Amino acid sequence: MAGNKPTNKSSETRDRQMEGLKLPPHSLEAEQSVLGGLMLDNERWDNVAERVVAQDFFSRPHRMIFGEMQRLLEMGKPIDLITLSESLEQKGELDMAGGFAYLAELSKNTPSAANIGAYADIVRERAVVRDMISVANEIADAGYDPQGRSSEDLLDLAESRVFQIAETRANKDEGPKSVDQILEATVSRIESLYQTPHDGVTGVDTGYQDLNKKTAGLQRSDLIIVAARPSMGKTTFAMNLCENAAMLQDKPVLIFSLEMPGEQIMMRMLASLSRVDQTRIRTGQLDDEDWARISATMGILLEKKNMYIDDSSGLTPTEVRSRARRIFREHDGLSLIMIDYLQLMRVPSLSDNRTLEIAEISRSLKALAKELQVPVVALSQLNRSLEQRADKRPVNSDLRESGSIEQDADLIMFIYRDEVYHENSDMKGIAEIILGKQRNGPIGTVRLTFNGQWSRFDNYAGPQYDDE
Same domain, 149 and 268: no
C-alpha separations of 11 from 3, 7, 18, 21, 110 in Å: 13, 6, 10, 15, 43
Q: Is residue 447 domain-resident? A: yes
Q: Is residue 17 domain-resident? A: no
Same domain, 248 and 314: yes
Q: How sure is the predictor about 302, in pLDDT bands with cuts at 50, 70 and 90?
A: confident
C-alpha separations of 229 from 175, 239, 385, 415 in Å: 40, 17, 11, 8
Same domain, 141 and 232: no
Same domain, 242 and 344: yes
Same domain, 144 and 250: no
Same domain, 231 and 163: no
Which backbone phi and psi does 10 adopt, to 5 degrees? -65, -35
Same domain, 162 and 216: no
Which of these three, 171, 188, 216, is where a domain ends? 171
pLDDT per position as a tens digit, 319-361: 888 788 888 888 888 999 999 888 899 888 787 888 888 888 9
Q: Is residue 89 domain-resident? A: yes
- pLDDT, residue 20, reads 54
The residue with greater pLDDT, 312 or 348, is: 312
- pLDDT, residue 269, reads 87
DSSP 33-76: HHHHHHHH-GGGHHHHHTT--GGG-SSHHHHHHHHHHHHHHHTT
- pLDDT, residue 167, reads 62
pLDDT per position as a tens digit, 406-430: 889 999 999 999 888 888 888 888 9
Average pLDDT over the chain, rounded to whole?
85
Contacts by 154-162 with C-beta closer than 8 Å and gap 24+?
Answer: 156/319, 156/322, 159/322, 159/323, 159/326, 160/318, 160/319, 160/322, 161/135, 162/132, 162/135
Is the model's pLDDT at 10 over the cut of 60? Answer: no
Same domain, 219 and 110: no
Give the pLDDT mean for 305-331: 86
Q: Is residue 212 domain-resident? A: yes
Which of these three, 149, 171, 193, is where a domain ends? 171
Q: How sure is the predictor about 197, in pLDDT bands with cuts at 50, 70 and 90?
A: low
Q: What is the number of structural domains in the chain? A: 2
- pLDDT, residue 453, reads 86
C-alpha separations of 377 from 225, 254, 270, 412, 457 in Å: 6, 10, 21, 10, 17
64: containing domain: 28-171
Q: Is residue 99 domain-resident? A: yes
pLDDT per position as a tens digit, 444-462: 999 999 988 888 898 988 7
Is the model's pLDDT at 162 over the cut of 90? Answer: no
Same domain, 165 and 216: no
Is the model's pLDDT at 100 over the cut of 90? Answer: yes
Same domain, 166 and 213: no
> Cα–Cα–Cα angle for 428, 431, 436, nearest 5°?
145
Q: Is residue 369 domain-resident? A: yes
Q: Is residue 312 domain-resident? A: yes
Is the model's pLDDT at 159 over the cut of 80? Answer: no
Same domain, 133 and 282: no
Is the model's pLDDT at 378 over the cut of 90? Answer: yes
CATH number at residue 207: 3.40.50.300
Same domain, 252 and 324: yes
Is the model's pLDDT at 468 over the cut of 50? Answer: no
Q: Is residue 12 domain-resident? A: no
CATH number at residue 93: 1.10.860.10
